Amino acid sequence: MPVEVPDKRLRAFAKRTAPGVSTGRVTVYIESDGAPWRVPDEPPVDPTPLRPLVLRMAISDPSPAVAYLGRPCQYLGKEELLQCDPALWMGGRFRDEAVAAMSLAVDGLKRIYGAAEVNLVGYSGGGAMAALIAARRGDVSCLVTVAAPLDTRAWTDAIGVSPLSPSLNPADDADRLRRVPQTHFRGVRDKVVPAATTRRFLDRAPGATVIDKQGFDHRCCWDDEWKDLWRLSCLGNV
E strand or H helix at 200, and its extent?
Answer: helix 199-203
3-class SS of residue 67: strand
Distances (CA, A) of 124 to 72, 81, 192, 212: 15, 23, 9, 15
Whether the full predicted model's pTM is greater than 0.75, yes or no, is: yes
* CA–CA separation, 37 and 116 (whole Å): 38
How many CA atoms does the CB half-sphere of 52 hold within 13 Å?
A: 16
pLDDT digits (tens, 9 = 90+) for 200-213: 999 999 999 999 99
Q: How many residues does the chain have?
A: 238
- What integer pLDDT is reported at residue 57 of this predicted model? 98
Alpha helices in 42-198 (DSSP H): 53-60, 78-82, 96-113, 125-134, 152-159
Beta strands per DSSP E along the chain: 2-3, 12-14, 25-30, 66-69, 117-123, 140-146, 182-187, 209-213
The domain defined by 2-237 carries CATH number 3.40.50.1820: yes
Break the chain into its structural domains and give their ranges: 2-237
- What integer pLDDT is reported at residue 36 of this predicted model? 63
Query: Residue 197: how many CB atoms within 10 A of its CB?
Result: 23
Q: Could you read off the pLDDT tens digit of each residue along the chain, which spans 238 residues? A: 777 887 889 999 998 665 455 679 999 999 999 866 665 666 778 899 988 899 999 999 999 999 999 999 999 998 999 999 989 989 999 999 999 999 999 999 999 999 999 999 999 999 999 999 999 999 999 999 999 999 999 999 999 888 999 999 999 999 999 999 999 999 999 999 999 999 999 999 999 999 999 999 999 999 999 999 999 999 998 6
- What integer pLDDT is reported at residue 19 of this predicted model? 46
